[in-house]
Amino acid sequence: MVKCDAYGHGTVECARALEAEGAEWLGITSTEEGLRLRQAGIACRILVMAGFWRGEEEALVAGQLTPNVWTLEHLELLEHAVRARHNQGKLPVHLKIDTGMGRLGLPLTELQKMAGRIVSSSELELEGVCSHLASSEVLGAQDVAAQITRFAQIREQLRSIGIEPRYRHLANTAAIVGRPETWDNMVRPGLVLYGYNLPYAVAGDFDEQQIPKPLPVTPILSWKTRIISLRDFPTGQAIGYNGTFVTKAPSRIAVIASGYGDGFRRGMSNKGRVIVRDRYAPMVGNISMDLSTIDVTAIPNVALGDEVLLIGASGQCKLTAQDQAQWAGTIPYEITCGLAARVQRIYLDGK
């Protein structure tokens, strides 16, 4: 999965790296994302996970993208686009089924009718079927067990009418790590590609001793900024908007060039920390749009221009998107996906 700008890491750059390592398929959200990869020279198969808008079908076909479909309108638009190109051959599509998440997908009751409609088409090929788990990180969740059963039933229903799609995929990152029964001949790794395992929860009578071990992955992203101001304040000085932090002793406060406009979430105000000169420095005061304040009183020799790690490791200190998510009351997906475009990306050769 390289959707949503590769979870904030850079769609084109990550796609190139994955393709170079042998990835045969990439997953993206939209036609626009897929075309951007084609324009960048990405040649492997590209699956458009969230369908397409009316008016995009011709560009989708021309870009040799493979869409998820679940409505009759999807099929009719694509058929028209394929016919308009002449001698293109059939366009492969993947039929998305709603097995219980209640989001995108075809109702199970319409499966045989829709699958038969695709198979009878002169322009389309039913290459794959897929669904999405609602609670794959909740071990013992009954809704997941029901979804897995329904997905197995999909294959049996299709077989009963002589249809056997080449690809079948259900497992996302959490299911890849902890639910081998969901593996079919295609899986969809997402956040784990970028170095994160989502923490598992348990439900019902699931034995916590059976929680799977996380995969041995390392976050690939470091997020850095610099100190742009240093000031010494006396006891009792309010810091930042609304004075939500007041110094309890003489303090050295640094201003760093990152704020919520960069994706440094305001919910971390007065909760999180950063790394300066191989030591942790607490965030103090409200995070603002372009700036944040940290307390460096206990760190010797801090200077203007010093590097500040928001995510990354230095010395014995380490910070991750999971840490930021915990402080902000969210999930690591939202942290990395929320990195603003104005945050400069610098890519290093991992070799």
**Catalytic residue list:** 3, 241
Q: Distance (Å, rounded) from C-alpha 80 to C-alpha 219?
A: 44
SS3 307: strand
* Nearest Cα to Cα of residue 225 among 286, 285, 287: 287
**Nearest by Cα to 288 from 258, 314, 317:** 258
Strand pairing category for 245-246 and 25-28: unpaired
In angstroms, the Cα distances linking 172 to 22, 83, 137, 150, 248 are 19, 34, 10, 17, 47
Task: Label residue 264 exposed, middle or buried (CB < 10 Å: 0-12, 13-18, 19+).
Answer: buried
User: Residue 171 has which token pair?
Assistant: 């497992």
89 Cβ neighbours under 8 A, 6+ residues apart: none
Instruction: Compute φ and ψ for 44, nearest 5 degrees.
Output: -70, 175
In eight-state DSSP terms, residue 118 is: H
Contact 287/268 with Cβ under 8 angstroms? yes
67 in helix, strand or coil? Answer: strand
Q: Name the burial class of residue 126, with classes exposed (0-12), middle (13-18) and buried (19+) by CB atoms within 10 angstroms of its CB.
A: buried
